[in-house]
């Protein structure tokens, strides 16, 4: 009987050596350890044995059963490991440090130019201020020397909320708050107010190639003792030559805004038509870009600053028009169109 056990163990070992996959291994497990398997069969022949022999033989069959189960477990682990290695080796090689292969978004051209202007003004000591798009009548008009029923309001019809607030028609709406924010440092510590505040503006007006109902401006103010028009011209010139990276033809002409005195219109020669006249510049060859002037004494007073001691300049750059000129965009409405095909041309390295 013992020889039967030995020959069955050798047969199992020989068969096990040839197994190369988990499915075949399961087959061999059933063939030896299953209900009708060879090891189970051995026990059936025990009927003819004496009690003493049954005990020894039973023990040996159980040992064989344990050995077979253990060898199958070892082989299972071995084959699983082999399968994992095979899968790894069949994977295409890839470099985890490579950039992902996907389409990247790009910044809107207005964002790019706004950041460029912010960089330029920051380098000249200006702070960049953020301001709400929903403002009060006082912020947008009254604090700027534009009382109710003043004709200057006609030029800036905008969208009103039921609570009397409005969508700001000009970034000048932040002036009063900026003066109040920095006046103590100006008066007590002699720190000049130098701030720019870019923002979205809204006007209820018909659109054309150079007018939108939603557009961006960038306001700038500087207040200190002895600030004059020369300071204003210096900062405007520096900003334009940095943005365009070349000399630009500009002209300064008188302009009226109730919150500056004197006031100017700073126009640039149209870069779309080279000054010959086109729809983008209303066929004049010039584009109104940056009205500016010396801050009106009443406006300084409303901001808590004594106009007998301090003077300042303010400008309201038409950021969206600057973008048109910088990139040669003929129709301002393309910038709000949401057309990714047009807008994604203006990428940068950020």
Summarize as ranges the residues that interact with ligand FA5 (CB under 6 A).
170, 172, 203, 205, 211-212, 215, 217, 219, 257, 260, 263, 288-289, 291-293, 314-316, 318, 320-321, 332
137 vs 288, beta carbon nearer ligand FA5? 288
41 vs 327, beta carbon nearer ligand FA5? 327
CB of 328 to ligand FA5, least distance (A): 17
Query: How many angstroms separate the Cα of 346 from the Cα of each of 7, 74, 108, 109, 163?
Result: 81, 62, 7, 6, 39
Sign of CA dihedral 14, 16, 20, 23: positive
Which helix H or strand E contains 327, and what residues bound it?
helix 319-327
CB of 94 to ligand FA5, least distance (A): 49
CB of 101 to ligand FA5, least distance (A): 39
24 vs 137, beta carbon nearer ligand FA5? 137
- CA–CA separation, 157 and 327 (whole Å): 29
65 vs 200, beta carbon nearer ligand FA5? 200
CB of 119 to ligand FA5, least distance (A): 21
The residue whose Cβ lies closest to ligand FA5 is 318
57 vs 179, beta carbon nearer ligand FA5? 179
293 φψ region: left (φ > 0), alpha (ψ -120 to 50), beta (else): left
CB of 160 to ligand FA5, least distance (A): 17
12 vs 259, beta carbon nearer ligand FA5? 259
- CA–CA separation, 150 and 292 (whole Å): 20
CB of 212 to ligand FA5, least distance (A): 4
Q: Which residues, in sequence order, are CB contacts of 280 under 8 Å at separation 6+? A: 209, 210, 270, 272, 273, 287, 324, 330, 331, 332
Instruction: Report yes or no: 291 and 255 within 8 Å, Cβ to Cβ.
Output: yes
* DSSP state at residue 160: B
Q: Which pair of tokens denotes residue 66?
A: 């344990």
Going by C-alpha positions, the residue among 198, 134, 189 that lies closest to residue 160 is 134
């Amino acid at each position: 009987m013992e020889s039967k056990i030995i020959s069955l163990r050798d047969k199992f070992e020989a068969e096990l050596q040839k197994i190369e996959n988990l499915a075949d291994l399961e087959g061999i497990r059933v063939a030896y350890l299953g209900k009708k398997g060879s090891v189970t069969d051995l026990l059936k022949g025990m009927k003819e044995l004496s009690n003493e022999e049954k005990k020894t033989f039973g023990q040996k069959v159980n040992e064989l059963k344990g050995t077979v189960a253990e060898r199958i477990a070892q082989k299972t682990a071995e084959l699983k490991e082999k399968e994992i290695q095979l899968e790894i080796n069949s994977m295409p090689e890839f470099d985890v440090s490579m950039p992902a292969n996907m389409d990247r978004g790009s910044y809107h051209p207005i964002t790019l130019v706004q950041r460029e202007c912010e960089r330029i003004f920051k380098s000249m000591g200006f702070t960049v201020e953020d301001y709400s798009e929903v403002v009060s009548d006082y912020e947008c008009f009254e604090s700027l020397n534009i009382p109710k029923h003043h004709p200057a309001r006609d030029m800036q019809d905008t969208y009103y909320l039921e609570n009397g607030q409005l969508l700001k028609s000009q970034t000048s709406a932040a002036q009063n708050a900026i003066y109040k924010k920095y006046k103590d440092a100006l008066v007590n510590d002699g720190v000049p107010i130098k701030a720019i505040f870019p923002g979205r503006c809204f006007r209820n007006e018909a659109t054309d190639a150079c007018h939108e109902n939603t557009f961006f401006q960038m306001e700038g103010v500087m207040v200190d003792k002895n600030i004059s028009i020369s300071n204003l011209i210096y900062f405007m010139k520096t900003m334009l030559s940095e943005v365009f990276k070349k000399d630009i033809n500009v002209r300064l002409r008188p302009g009226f805004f109730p919150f500056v005195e004197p006031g100017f219109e700073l126009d640039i020669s149209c870069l779309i038509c080279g000054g010959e006249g086109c729809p983008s510049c209303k066929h004049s060859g010039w584009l109104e870009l940056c009205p500016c002037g010396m801050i009106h004494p009443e406006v300084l007073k409303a901001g808590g600053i004594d106009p007998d001691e301090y003077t300042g300049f303010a400008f309201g750059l038409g950021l969206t028009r600057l973008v048109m000129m910088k990139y040669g965009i003929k129709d301002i409405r393309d910038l709000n169109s949401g057309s990714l095909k047009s807008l994604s041309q203006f990428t940068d390295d950020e």
